[in-house]
Structure 1
Amino acid sequence: MFKENGEYQVTINGISHWVKVEGIERGTTPVVVIHGGPGGNHYVFERTAGSMIAMERTIIYYEQRGCGRTDKPEDDGAYKISHLVADFKEFHRLFGWEKVDLLGYSFGAELALEIANTLPHTVNRLVLSAPSMIQSPLQKLVQIAGFASVGATGIGSGATIDEAYQVLWNHADTAMVDKLLFQDPSLAAMNRKWWEESDLVNTGLMMRALEDDSSRPSLEERLSDIPHSALILVGTFDRNTGIPVASLIHDRLQHSTLTILSKSAHFPDIEESEVFTQYVCSFLR
């Protein structure tokens, strides 16, 4: 369907989705980039590692339902994994690719794993950058420790993991979140500027739907069923999902390589764009 680079609005399952194509002239297996959040957008990735990867690969961006430049569903609860995977299935069918590579970052990496598990014949290879595992208590522990490491206080003695997690996120201001997510303050400021420039508004509806989805089987228990070759990238200073979550995923997948980038936190695509791009392109070759 796509014959030219550019931005498109494409109706998928009744919702107008924002789509962008770069590097169509490369003629490679498309790399479909899946953003995080949950509830984020691609605005920053387009301007950092994305533009560099497009020098070698064909890249297809799309923003998930209710995110960024894509319209929201009528039902505020229609943000479960089943909805997101169904959107990808229709996206893939509509454009007629046999297989695509998936590059997901943060929650986008988790969604890429869900897609690979549910629709294995649509996926060639996986790149998982700072992958999340929303259902795993381990991730909450990583974030609690991460907040403590950057100076957050206020957790009462005897608090449960869930209580401590909620207290920290409820009281975290912009400066504290930037410290959690970035090692370089100047790049945190640049990222924040781009978020504001993109008019990013995260309603929290997707996170709420994902946390409330008790019918979703544990991804952790299904990782060993995923046969695809995967590259996992994580920053040494990632205090949000971190090396523990990346290692858990690496240990469970059938065929994965874990690479730790030495100068970045949760966004190696921003803090080490060139190194990140080199690893991604080398793997996809």
Structure 2
Amino acid sequence: MKFNNGEYKLSINGINHWVKIEGYENKTIPLILIHGGPGGNHYNFERTAGRIISKERTVVYYEQRGSGRSDKPESADDYSIDLLVSDFRILKDLLEIEKADLLGYSFGGELALEIAYAFPNNINKLVLSGPSLMYSNIQYLVQLQGFMSVAKGSLLERMETILKENKSIEEKYNEVWSNVDTKTVDQLLFEDQSVAEQNRLLWNKSGLQNTGQMMKALYKNPPQVPLLHRLKKVGHETLLITGIHDRNTGLSVSKIIDRELNNSSLELFFNSAHFPEMEETEKFLRLTLEFLNTED
């Protein structure tokens, strides 16, 4: 690897990307972390599971174009899976990384699979925590069902009305999201609401916001062939981590991905929703590090 520990701004496809390296002294295969959102950031992961992982592994954080501490592209439409994969390739080349492990969470798990599909010889192992399949209707259904399971009172009644409307599932999904409040989102994402509170405090402390721009643009520019139909060609050794209460991307999505991949194992977290690294941190770290530290 070319760079030592520290934070950097690297120009990738004309956009300055925030990059941080920790655990360089461990001299392991670099573990590149891929955040979710789309349009999220690594701030919380850095301060929870990431700081422990970097005690044993060489860790590379980077925030995707228009996300977190990276710069935004000039056009609001300048996002696509192909562009994100291209950004990753240039990042890898700039850091002089020949082969990397990937840890992707939420949408980052989906993007990690896209990267492994695009560069099979440059990726070693995959850790996918609560991965999404955003171009599949099942993703809409999982979240709609999730909101229905935690909503109460007038909000639940409003959701019932929305679901009866003569609209597409995407339109219903967007309308539900426009009606939910912070408490309901926390209940969707976390089983333990005390952990949800810790998470939101970190979100607020970061000062970083997801504008939603990337998600809108990605839906406008879908891959020609959905990832779901290409998963059988991803042969990397893969650890899938999923909370059984995940109401955001969902256990059913992880089971589909596990079924389609050729070399995967699925580990269930029985006290977690969408963020097992925060709700069952010790188990998350143990399984992730055992998987990464085991020689092929």
**TM-score normalised to structure 1 length:** 0.97
More deviation, 149-158/251-260: 149-158
Q: Percent identity?
A: 51
Question: Whole-Å Cα distance in 1 between the matches of residues 25 and 267 of structure 2?
Answer: 30
- Name the residue aligned to 1:188: 196
Question: Whole-Å Cα distance in 2 between the matches of residues 17 and 215 of structure 1?
Answer: 23
1:1-285 alignment, distance < 5 Å: 2-151=2-151, 152-153=155-156, 154=158, 155-156=160-161, 157-159=164-166, 160-285=168-293
Runs of 4+ off more than 4 Å: none
Distance change in 2, residues 1:219/1:190 (3 Å) = same
- CA RMSD across the alignment: 1.2
Structure 2 SS opposite 1:120: coil
Q: Where does structure 2 lack aligned partners over 5 or more consecutive residues? A: none
Question: Whole-Å Cα distance in 1 between the matches of residues 86 and 118 of structure 2?
Answer: 10
Using the TM superposition, give the Cα deviation of residue 163 of structure 1 relative to its aligned residue in structure 2, in angstroms.
3.5
Structure 1 SS opposite 2:18: strand
Amino acid at match of 2:27: G
Structure 2 SS opposite 1:241: coil
Q: Where does structure 1 lack aligned partners over 5 or more consecutive residues? A: none
Question: Whole-Å Cα distance in 2 between the matches of residues 250 and 102 of structure 1?
Answer: 17
**TM-score normalised to structure 2 length:** 0.93
What do the CA deviations read for 1:161-203 (whole angstroms, capped 9, x no partner)? 3343122111011111010000111111111111111111211
Q: How many pairs align?
A: 285
Question: Whole-Å Cα distance in 1 between the matches of residues 95 and 86 of structure 2?
Answer: 15
Amino acid at match of 2:219: E
Structure 2 SS opposite 1:216: coil
Question: Whole-Å Cα distance in 2 between the matches of residues 216 and 42 of structure 1?
Answer: 29
Question: Whole-Å Cα distance in 2 between the matches of residues 220 and 54 of structure 1?
Answer: 32
